[in-house]
Amino acid sequence: MRLFSTMSGPQSRPGRFLPGWGWTILLLVLPAVLAGCHRGQPPLADTKPPEVFYTLPVSMTVTDYENYSGQTAAINSIDIRARVSGYLEEVRFQEGMNVQKGDVLFVIDPRPYKDALDQAQADSNQAEANLGVAQTSLKLAQSTLDIDLKAGKAITELQLSQDRAAVDTNQAQVKAAQATIKVKAAAAQTAQRNLDWTQVTSPVTGRIGKRNEDPGNLVMADMTVLTNIVQLDPIYVY
């Protein structure tokens, strides 16, 4: 197909010259471009240095340790028994609590043992009084013998023999009274100890278990296990 131009006059060569309106646009844009090239860089933002946390070194002793699986066992496990018989009056602990050596755990009715102590102390006092009487009688018998010996022939041998027998008898009574005092004192000590044992105390520091008897029950000396205590310090580890 052939194309015919309707324009008259000589044909221009495309791409060699700008048309008039192109020069006009170029002159308008060029100053803006040049101004942009000479514009300075925008100022940098004022930034603060980052905050840094630090610690100072410390010199100290560090103990190395390792974790292992194992089993533990109490070094002591003690059954708590009553040392005297009687009716249980009080329980002074909570199951599973830690107790100290000497803590009162149970109280047994102390009244019978208090009566026994009073009787033993009265017997001991009576024995001491009897010793005093025997010593006085011995002094009197010895004094009588001494007087009769000084009298010489005025006193018969029979009387002197009776005086000597009285001295011997009173000496024996003094020794018997002294022995009785020891027996009564020992009985009083036993009664005091039994009274003290009505308060059942912890023999060690540790953790107490379940109580086996409630207040009101009769417990027997050296037979009834009232509870159990395990000692946790120190402790075995396997």
Tens-level pLDDT at each residue, the chain (238 residues): 343 444 444 444 444 555 666 666 666 666 666 655 555 556 666 677 788 887 888 888 888 878 878 888 888 899 999 999 999 999 999 999 999 999 999 999 999 999 999 999 999 999 999 999 999 989 988 888 888 787 777 777 888 888 888 888 989 999 999 999 999 999 999 999 999 999 999 999 999 999 999 999 999 999 999 999 999 888 887 7
What tens digit of pLDDT does each residue of 118-133 get?
999 999 999 999 999 9
Look at the chain and count its residues: 238
Query: What's residue 20's pLDDT?
Result: 61
Q: Which two tokens stand for residue 94?
A: 């909570």
Do the strands 86-91 and 98-99 form a parallel or antiparallel pair, or are they unpaired? unpaired
Q: Specify the pLDDT at position 159.
A: 81
The reported pLDDT for the residue numbered 189 is 96
Cβ count within 10 A of residue 73: 10
Which residues does residue 78 pair with via DSSP β-bridges, in sequence order? 229
* DSSP category for residue 18: -
SS3 123: helix
| pTM of the entire predicted model | 0.62
Report yes or no: 93 and 216 within 8 Å, Cβ to Cβ: no
Q: Which domains does the chain have, with CATH numbers?
A: 72-237 (2.40.50.100)
* pLDDT for position 8: 44
| CA-to-CA dists, residue 171 to 58, 162, 178, 214, 221, angstroms | 86, 14, 11, 56, 42
Pairing outcome for strands 104-108 and 199-201? antiparallel
